[in-house]
Amino acid sequence: MAGAAARLRPRRFEGLDRAAPVWLLAAAALALLILLPLGWLAYMSVSSRSGFTLAHYARVLGDPALQKALWNTLVLALWSGLLALAIGAPLAWLSARTDLPWRRTIQHLIMASFVTPPFLGAFAWVMLAGPNAGALNRLYRSLTGATDPLLNIFTMPGLIFVVAIYTFPYVYIMITNTLGLIASDLEDAAAILGAGRLQVAWTITLPMVLPAILSGFILAVLQALALFGSPAILALPAGFHTVTTQLWAFFQYPPRVEMAAAFSMPLLLATALLLLAQKRLLGRRGYAAVGGKGGQRRVVRLGRWRYPALAAGLAVLACAVFLPYSILLKAAFSRAWAQPLTWENFTLENWSFTFLHSATQSAIVNTLELGVLTACVGAGLATLLAYVTNRRLVVGHQVLAFLALAPVVIPGVVLAVALFVAYTRPPFLLYGTLWILFLAYLTKEMPVGYSQSDATLRSIHPELEEAGRILGAGRLRVLREITAPLARSGIIATWCFVFIGVIRELSASIILFTPNTKVMSVVIFDLKEEGQFGAIAVLGVFMLAMTFAIVVLMQAVLGRDVMGGRQSSGAG
């Protein structure tokens, strides 16, 4: 037994787990990241020079203008949620269950809608359906000779429409994933007994998918509640506020921080309650578990409804992708975006103007720097945290998992207010630097990063690590030599998700930026004030190009797409 005896000499503190400090440090970092700003926010909302007070809440909730903003937000969220449901659910069913033609293409296009920053979509729709110069209106006027516009995007219905076409992918993903779990034999049983196609869908499939439908609706509502860009672009010119635009208004000079803190709370409460409801609906697993392993799924034949269904799907995608992208491209290359794209109108000046402008250059650099930094730190931290919770390395790891996912409750604007409050005072004077933006992005993207890392680590069997340990490798060595190589593609996917999230972030950036620390989304917003649609379009196209480049990278290198599915080789 020379081998075994020579291997291991007894050491001091033989029983101590030397890896413990690493886990504890990661856990502490997370707690600090999330709890510190929220704590300050709550404190600010009830503090004044004379101590504890509820005066801020009283003013905020009693002010008729602010009440109107709350009401508008409610209307926007519910209607856009319903519209997103009305678009997303049928598309999901058509895509997952029927012989809809061009299914793969439609899925890719829906993914494009998913990664499009909603505020870019809003800008594009201003160019399409603005009452005076909107391309669709001018087309309508030239065809019918009318003087009034057909569409006015600067209205509540316009806002609802634009929000819905960029939030319906959440509903779509949720429902397609669930439909993927339901085996056909449950529906076949009904069909054999005489139910027609539609009856089967209505009486069998629908009830089973109901939790996913409701959950998707809640997700869409949550997204709508937190949006800043689209309301700022479409509602403000129309003369009404939402909670998010109002919060931003509180930060215009002079900043009324206590009011902002108090006004944030209803929004925070609403999102927390909605998420709780969603969790209840889905049970502990976080997705609509329908029971059963799935199995053979036969497609429903649409018959003569095939092409009408395809037309409907393409119409939706025209609104979300074709029309906006076309107008953005046109505006990027035109002298005057409202004029038809003739040879005289074509120009590359927008590009040179934008990219040679020093302010834009520094913004692009800032965005890329922050993107890379946040993605690296975020992916690292998320992976470490997912490892700690999956392997149950510390007491209270469930709390860690909860904290990692908690930021999804916090709308970007509210997070920005909280960070502002926490980090514009000693000892952490971060306002005015890129670091406060970094913290905002890291916090905001943590849920996405953690979910992805969690899924990655779940797929690595703990026995693979145990096998290493029993043969003599310590915990950290096993992490380095066994777990990390196996988790590599998952870690890269996490990096990509976080990076994409950062470059398109607006709602937190718009509050935390200073003239020296602008990012691309803020510059785009600035250009709106100047009416520089050409430059906006250029930056928008550039942002989209970067996003798609990363998405293509993920698909090519890792064999998976943004919506979390493996690339299918056969039938979509």
Give the interface with other proteins as residue ranges (CB under 8 A): 1-8, 11, 14-15, 17, 461, 463-464, 466-475, 482, 485-486
Q: How many residues in the chain?
A: 572
Nearer to other proteins, 463 or 529 (CB): 463
Evaluated on CA atoms 265, 267, 270, 273, the torsion sign reads negative
What letter does residue 255 receive in the DSSP assignment? P
Nearer to other proteins, 301 or 461 (CB): 461
Cα separations (Å) of 416 from 413, 507, 561? 5, 8, 30
Question: Least distance to other proteins from the beta carbon of 15, Å?
Answer: 4
Asked if 125 and 322 count as a contact pair (C-beta separation under 8 A), the reply is: no
Question: Least distance to other proteins from the beta carbon of 481, Å?
Answer: 8
The residues with which 429 forms a beta bridge, in sequence order, are 424
Counting DSSP H helices and E strands in the chain, the numbers are 27, 4
Q: How far apart are CA 196 and CA 11, in angstroms?
A: 74
Question: Least distance to other proteins from the beta carbon of 257, Å?
Answer: 47
SS3 566: strand
State the burial class of residue 571 (Cβ atoms within 10 Å of its Cβ: 0-12, 13-18, 19+).
exposed
Q: Which of 380, 233, 348, 211 is nearest to 283 (CA)?
A: 211
Determine the residue type at 372: V
Neighbours of 343 (CB within 10 A): 5
Nearer to other proteins, 59 or 391 (CB): 391
Question: Least distance to other proteins from the beta carbon of 7, Å?
Answer: 4
SS3 sequence of 441-492 = HHHHHHHHHHHHHHHHHHCCCHHHHHHHHHCCCCHHHHHHHHHHHHHHHHHH
Q: 146 is written with which tokens?
A: 């009318």
Question: Least distance to other proteins from the beta carbon of 165, Å?
Answer: 43
SS3 289: coil
State the burial class of residue 290 (Cβ atoms within 10 Å of its Cβ: 0-12, 13-18, 19+).
middle
Question: Least distance to other proteins from the beta carbon of 482, Å?
Answer: 6
Asked if 524 and 367 count as a contact pair (C-beta separation under 8 A), the reply is: no
Question: Least distance to other proteins from the beta carbon of 472, Å?
Answer: 3
Question: Least distance to other proteins from the beta carbon of 468, Å?
Answer: 7
Nearer to other proteins, 475 or 504 (CB): 475
Q: How far apart are CA 13 and CA 540, in angstroms?
A: 59
Question: Least distance to other proteins from the beta carbon of 564, Å?
Answer: 22
Nearer to other proteins, 206 or 467 (CB): 467
Cα separations (Å) of 499 from 56, 230, 449, 496? 37, 22, 10, 5
Question: Least distance to other proteins from the beta carbon of 12, Å?
Answer: 12
